[in-house]
Amino acid sequence: MLATGSSAGILGLLESSCAGAPKTAPDAPSSTAPPSIAGTAAPAMPNYAKGSAPITITNVKAIATAPEAANLVVVKVETSEPGLYGLGCATFSQHAKAVVTVVDDYLNDFCRGKNVDNIEDMWQSIYVSSYWRGGPVEGNALSGVDQALWDIKGKRANMPVYQLLGGKCRFAVDLYAHASSLSLEGLADQVHDCMGQGYRHVRIQQGPYGSAVKPSKAQPDWFLNGFGKPTDSFVDPHTYLKKVPKMFEYVRGKCGEDIELIHDMHEIVEPRDAISMIKQLEPYNPFFIEDPLSPENMKWFKQLRAATTVPIAMGELFNNVNEYRDAMVEQWFDYIRCHISQIGGITPAMKVARLGEFFNIKSAWHGPDDDSPVGHAAQAHVDLAIWNFGIQEMVRWGPKTEAVFPGAPTIKKGFLFVNEAPGLGVDIDEKEAAKYPIGTKSNWTVRQNDGTIRRP
């Protein structure tokens, strides 16, 4: 009894002697009126000082939809506050149903009953909840919850999420568009078209996956000998290496110096060949060359940096912040290209961005069509709030996607704008989403002539 009483007494003493300490437990609702001094009327407490009552998670579910080519997965976090929910992108398009299972069968139970406000604690606890961490399935599921909690926090604060991240550093998000054609003439036409729409940055590719083609257009020996599948893609690294400098020369000559040109190498050639080719691009002044080396070849970045000043972007295949921490500290690239839903959401993206600020590395988040409008909104809020924003990849979506996701960010003159609604600003129409069931085909297979798999 003495011990208990003493503890209570000491705790009471500590509370009363700690200036500014809350009178109530952090999760308890604040009093609606300040303490009054005897004989005087207590002034009305302003709304901003009242705080907000704790809200808990009541349900977490995945919504899968494929209004266009890509499988999209969005996590919906529902709360004890009627009508209040958050959305987050959990799109791992290639294995979407695996993410749905993690969200519905594991994270729903894990998250229910927890406080919606404690985003960092939720992130850290989900991150280790399966003991083994990392990987696209767990990373995307985690990202969905993380982004949804930021969405909820914004709605609770009555502010767009970029405000919670520090406010705007720029009025909108500068984008790069995609141009791709097997013919150089067609490619230059597309670049001109993008310039006409106001884009200042365009990624130029000759065919999908850098230069890969399906066997019907080129008959590689693996295909003629019945190896692999007809749906596999074919790339000839030797041809690719010769084509890219010519592509830059042609497009630069046709489209002029006012457009910034980007090219994605998709890591498909040997490191020494990648270095040699990038050096040849110096006269054409690329904005950056994307993904020159596979994650298995990270140490080659040191030689690449010593060989050329062409700016380098890297990172969309990384799973875990620890994979690129050392590379960023060593300043082996100029732009960090995380897929924000892959690495776990807004919370780790802000850490990566802050790390980059110390090492002159700018953001260039991965933003193709296998990123839902919720995910594009999430990265746009980060883009607006960080000082070291570089550029944002963006692929336009069609009317079906816009019908599923009301409030999706909009593009004007090559800039992305988020709306000013509280949270991420994007909703989902679940009835519309249900019209477009996701598929299960997954074939990210690229072979060289003898059938050997090329690693992205």
Which residues lie near Mg ion (CB under 5 A)? 264, 290-291
Task: State the CB neighbour count (10 A cutoff) for residue 303.
Answer: 13
Amino acid of residue 237: P
| Under 8 Å between Cβ of 361 and 388 | yes
Residue 309 to residue 320: CA distance in whole angstroms? 27
Query: Whole-number minimum distance, CB 350 to Mg ion, in Å?
Result: 22
Which residue, 174 or 291, has its beta carbon nearer to Mg ion?
A: 291
Which residue, 290 or 427, has its beta carbon nearer to Mg ion?
A: 290
Helix or strand holding residue 154 (H, E):
helix 136-157
Residues 6+ apart with CB under 8 A from 297: 267, 271
Residue 131 to residue 141: CA distance in whole angstroms? 15
Residue 199 to residue 193: CA distance in whole angstroms? 9
Residues 6+ apart with CB under 8 A from 77: 57, 59, 60, 85, 86, 87, 88, 111, 116, 145, 148, 149, 152
Query: Whole-number minimum distance, CB 395 to Mg ion, in Å?
Result: 12
| Under 8 Å between Cβ of 393 and 376 | no
Which residue, 78 or 264, has its beta carbon nearer to Mg ion?
A: 264
Which residue, 63 or 244, has its beta carbon nearer to Mg ion?
A: 244
Which residue, 110 or 335, has its beta carbon nearer to Mg ion?
A: 335
* Concatenated DSSP letters of 17-28: HSTT--SS-TTS
Is 436 a catalytic site residue? Answer: no
Cβ-in-10-Å burial (0-12, 13-18, 19+) of 94 comes to middle
Amino acid of residue 449: N
Q: Which of 85, 162, 176, 209 is catalytic?
A: 209
Q: Which of 178, 201, 263, 266 is catalytic?
A: 266
Can you state the percent helix, strand and coil of the chain, rounding each to 5? 40, 15, 45
Which residue, 142 or 289, has its beta carbon nearer to Mg ion?
A: 289
User: Is the dihedral angle over the CA atoms 138, 27, 48, 11 positive or is it negative?
Assistant: negative
Residue 319's nearest CA partner among 287, 262, 366, 280 is: 366
| Under 8 Å between Cβ of 62 and 75 | yes
Which residue, 146 or 290, has its beta carbon nearer to Mg ion?
A: 290
Residue 438 to residue 156: CA distance in whole angstroms? 32
Amino acid of residue 348: P
Query: Whole-number minimum distance, CB 270 to Mg ion, in Å?
Result: 18
Query: Whole-number minimum distance, CB 425 to Mg ion, in Å?
Result: 26
Q: Please, which residues bridge with residue 260 across strands?
A: 201
Query: Whole-number minimum distance, CB 290 to Mg ion, in Å?
Result: 5
Outline where 228-270 has alpha helix (H).
237-255
Which residue, 156 or 263, has its beta carbon nearer to Mg ion?
A: 263
Is 266 a catalytic site residue? Answer: yes
Q: Backbone dihedral region of 195: left (phi > 0), alpha (psi from -120 to 50 degrees) or beta?
A: alpha
Which residue, 122 or 352, has its beta carbon nearer to Mg ion?
A: 352
**Closest residue to Mg ion using C-beta atoms:** 264
Query: Whole-number minimum distance, CB 342 to Mg ion, in Å?
Result: 12
Q: List the catalytic residues.
A: 209, 266
